[in-house]
Structure 1
Amino acid sequence: MPKINFQNMGAGLNLDGFPNELAPSEWSGGQNIRFRDGYAEKSQGEVRVHGDLLAAPYGLFPTQGIAGRYWVYAGLQTLSAVENDTHTDITRAAGLYTGTVDNRWNGGVLSGVLVVNNGKDVPQFWGGNPAVKAADLTAWPPTLRAKVIRPFRNFLFALNLTDNGAQRPYALRWSHPADPGTLPVSWDIADPTKDAGEFDLADTSDVIVDAVPLGQALIVYKENSIWQMDYVGSPYIWSAKPVVSGVGLLAQDCVVPHPGGHIVLTQGDVVNFDGSTAQSVADGRVRRWLFDNLNADMYQRSFAVGNYRRNEAWICVPRTGSDWPDTALIFNWKDATWAIRDLAQASAGASGTIVYDLGNSWDADPDPWDTDDTSWNQYEYTQASPRLMLASAVSQRLVLVDTGKTFQGTAMVSRFEKTGMSFDAPERIKYCKSVRPRIEAQSGTTIDIYVGAQEDLENAVEWSGPVPFVVGQDLSADIEVSGRYLSVRFESSGIVSWRMKQFDIDVTVLGGY
């Protein structure tokens, strides 16, 4: 076996399987990588946007205002709106908010009006005028609190209630329907002239966590079950039925809608819920790794967000030792691949439209002149294209992801590795002479190549290298390594972009035990 060719290396990560049993096109490890169109490629970077914030952001909401597009970010005690680099404090005139770091902000846009909620204070609304402060939601019962508020159709839904101090975690209430451009005029469930209503989803003992639309239905996620709400009109207005039992939601904001349903981070898996069934998309690939590495004390700070221009669901979680999500496991629902990326202590994320001023202008471009292959003052998106924005309360900043080649100006390490390769002869000693990658990148880009060996899969890989491979100059990287199980790693640490679809390993079988 003088040369072994590995083709179509875009099948993604498999962190759960035994490395020696992976498909030839799967990778056993990596960092800051993604897979699409049959390629393995370095992740794009991120750039800080919107300048200095008025407060540490714990919630993030895109909305349309009277003067353009805004992002509203929620602090523990304040609300702020930003357009380009202009920040406005829109905190209610009645006083500061009282939530803590674990009172998750939630909400959405109803008929052009942003409604947000932290579970501790009266829900807030903001009409998009920076000269007008946010205010308590009109017609809201003064003694009622909801852990979650979500808009759907022309209703607002309040979930997991506390009514006059009494906790009602199974309760769900909806408002009277709002006229276009307005807010609901009533939440009074006792008024027969209004369509407001309430019921408990108490058939199961798990509590309500969140709700997300799916087609013409509102899907209510409890901890270990999924329910469907349908509009039925008078006199009942809404009906509810259980759809799936034994599968629920890990925390608020852990659902990503996509064309095939919802990608859902559950209590022990990542599933695709299509409206009737929930099928794992992580089992046998990343599920065990995810929950083995999840910080069990901070799991409720996890969130999921869609990167729609890349057909990706980002599962953002705090790993052991981190208080905030520091890792995104990324599922591409088009190619059914898993990838992984570092996060900078993210506290919230959202997908929404941005303004042109945040594009690849001369001042905004984070990449050095010598390594920048983007066009000056050109944009890779339209003004209406949704982009993924992340917030960090730790660093008190907003970042636009999938932009440039760096982490906010700092070079990022990107690597792919495939370990435990026995070439169907685990009892034989293999000798590697060289590795020849097919890398697409700017001429002169340097990729470091390592080759490793193990005598037994229980032993750690002993790596040799790195040997620099210069794109446009080198044909192969000569690395001599022998062992029963071989490994290969491709890594970059510079400000570069690159992708790879195949590589060869020059291997000779030396003998048996």
Structure 2
Amino acid sequence: ANNGTDAPFYWAGTGTMATITAWPAGYTCASLRPFKNYLVAVNITKSGTNYPHLVLWSSEADPGSLPTSWDVTDKTKNAGDSPAMADDPSLAVDQLPLGDANILYKENAIYSMVLSGNDFIFNINRLPIPFGARGRNCVANTPLGHVVLTHGDVILHNGSTFKQIATGRIRKWLSDNIDGANRSRCFVVTSPRFNEVWICFPALSQTKCTRAAVWNWIDDTWSVRSLPNVTFGAIGQIDASLISVWDSDSDAWDNDQSLWDQNELSEGQAHLLMGCDIGLSSGIAATDMSITENGDDFAAEMERKGISFDDPATVKSLRAIWPRIKGTSGQKVLITSGATMDIEQAVTWGSPVEYTIGSSQKADLPFSTGRFLAIRFDSVDNAPFRVDSFDLDYTVRGLY
């Protein structure tokens, strides 16, 4: 564990945490992570003097043990350091292995660290990617590569090529909603069970993470979630003895998504776990174990804004919708229409109309008039639903 202020700590599996053995006295670092049989630290402070571009690595350690030396002057060990990241003036903030390379992140640059096979131990080279990481813990590993929250964007890269994965709308939403004073508390983490990357951040005027932009790397889709004052997230296993029993299952029979005789807490299953404030207490919460949020129903919504039918100059009135929604027969969904005259203005929403899956064919909507139309779907019953597509009935009113 490393907080950037104290010497790094380790936990041996029992008892309390202790300072890493052989760590140099008076040293701290911005990031410390394992790579191969080494520990690697970046952005080093030595007795109060900061070296923001320095990379420091330990001697090679046996599997399951700590390194015995960080002394770069000891020729009998292979500990060392390198200022190779000094060509970029921004701060080194974090690192994360990717295949056979350790990817080093600065605020505005990315480097690759690989074993050299010679006395230099490691080669460090800058990657041709014109981005960096917003801060510590703003990188997550996926089967496609690293997902990185940068200053103003979200990228996916494989160590050589990169792709900007945030659409224009989600990119702007992230930029507009991250609280500037607490931006250092942003973090990026994966939910392997659902093939998702969660970009968690404090919303405006919040000190803890209260929102997440979620990217699914299989579908290449985005969604947004609320968070209960989250401080951090990580992948981990849950004790299988905590398996659900009949009396402890609070989900309604028709809505329960678990399987009969299913062990939801298989020790081999990786879960996204988050430290958060829930109600009057704090704790660790699993994000993928239930269709409720700490016993409360989720409030799910889906929106489509800026609908102009390729004719943004004309004023239109929206009258009805024919949606194709999949879910449980009898399940209720609220459909709301809205409109705005200017794409940059907020949508004016009408009154919601109830739609019943399996029996409703269309929803007659209160007239919403504007150049740009909008549709919103809201959950009523605590059960998942999916909107595959929809047709709209509208009329053109003219230019004004």
Flag whether TM exceeds 0.5 (same fold): yes
1:205 aligns to what?
89
Say if 1:301 and 1:317, in contact at 8 Å, map to a contact too: yes
Equivalent position of 1:312 in the other structure: 196
Tell me how far apart the structure 1 counterparts of residues 90 and 345 of structure 2 sit (CA, whole Å). Answer: 43
Aligned match of 2:394:
507
| Residue 177 of structure 2: aligned partner | 293
Indicate the percent of aligned positions where both proteins have the same amino acid: 39
Q: Provide the secondary structure at the position in 2 that maps to 1:220.
A: strand
Report the counterpart of residue 463 of structure 1 in structure 2. 349
Q: How much has 1:480 moved relative to structure 2?
A: 4.0
SS at match of 2:386: strand
Q: 1:297 to 1:493 in 2, by over 3 A?
A: farther
**Structure 1 427/125 Cα, relative in aligned 2: closer, same or farther at 3 Å?**
closer
Cα separation, 2, equivalents of 1:122 and 1:479: 62
Alpha-carbon contact 2:257-2:291 (below 8 Å) kept: no
Match of 2:106 among 210, 214, 222: 222
Give the AA of the match of 2:375.
V
Contact 1:361 1:378 in 2 (8 A): no
Counterpart for residue 365 of structure 2: 479
| Distance change in 2, residues 1:226/1:482 (3 Å) | closer
Residue 192 of structure 1 and its aligned partner are, at CA, apart by 0.7
Q: CA deviation at 1:420?
A: 3.0
Q: State the distance in 2 between where 1:225 and 1:420 align.
A: 35
Is the Cα–Cα contact under 8 Å of residues 269 and 282 in structure 1 kept in the other structure?
Answer: yes
Aligned AA for 2:262? Q
Instruction: Return the alpha-carbon distance in structure 2 between the equivalents of residues 283 and 482 of structure 1.
Output: 27
Query: Does 2:339 correspond to 1:453?
Result: yes
DSSP 3-state at the match of 2:159: coil
Aligned to 2:276: 392
Judged with a 3 Å threshold, the aligned counterparts in structure 2 of structure 1 residues 401 and 364 are, in CA distance, closer, same or farther, namely farther
Q: Alignment partner for residue 9 of structure 2, among 109, 120, 124? A: 124
TM-superposed deviation, 1:152:
0.6
How far did residue 326 of structure 1 move?
0.9
Contact 1:360 1:376 in 2 (8 A): no
Could you tell me how far 1:209 is from its partner in structure 2? Answer: 0.4
8 Å CA contact 1:414–1:492 kept in 2: the answer is: yes
1:490 aligns with 2:372: no
CA RMSD across the alignment? 2.3
Q: Counterpart of 1:344 in 2: which secondary structure?
A: strand
Is contact 1:261-1:274 (8 Å) kept?
yes
For structure 1, the residue ranges without an aligned partner over 5 or more in a row are: 1-115
Correspondence list, 1:319-334, <5 A: 319-334=203-218
Q: 1:451 is paired with a residue of what secondary structure?
A: strand
The code of the aligned residue for 2:391 comes to D
Between the aligned partners of 1:458 and 1:191, the Cα distance in structure 2 is 62
Q: Residue 463 of structure 1: CA displacement?
A: 2.5
Q: Post-superposition shift, 1:144?
A: 1.9
Deviation at 1:141, TM superposition (A): 1.8
Deviation, structure 1 residue 250: 0.6
1:493 Cα deviation after fit: 4.1
Aligned AA (1:119): G
Q: Is the partner of 1:339 in helix, strand or coil? A: strand
Aligned equivalent of 1:167, options 34, 47, 50: 50
User: In structure 2, what residue type is equivalent to 1:126?
Assistant: W
- 1:97-246 equivalences under 5 Å are 116-128=1-13, 130=14, 132-200=15-83, 201-244=85-128, 246=130
Aligned residue runs from structure 1 range 11-160, under 5 A: 116-128=1-13, 130=14, 132-160=15-43
Give the whole-Å Cα distance in 2 for the aligned partners of 1:459 and 1:158. 47
The aligned counterpart of 1:440 is 326
Shift of 1:153: 0.5
Q: Structure 1, residues 383-412: CA drift from partner, whole Å, max 9, x if none?
A: 312111111157421111123222211122
> Which residue does the alignment assign to 2:143?
259
Preserved CA contact (<8 Å) 1:405 1:411? yes
Aligned to 2:77, what secondary structure does the other structure show? coil
Confirm whether residue 374 of structure 1 aligns to residue 261 of structure 2. Answer: no
Give 1:259's aligned amino acid: P
Matching residue of 1:302: 186
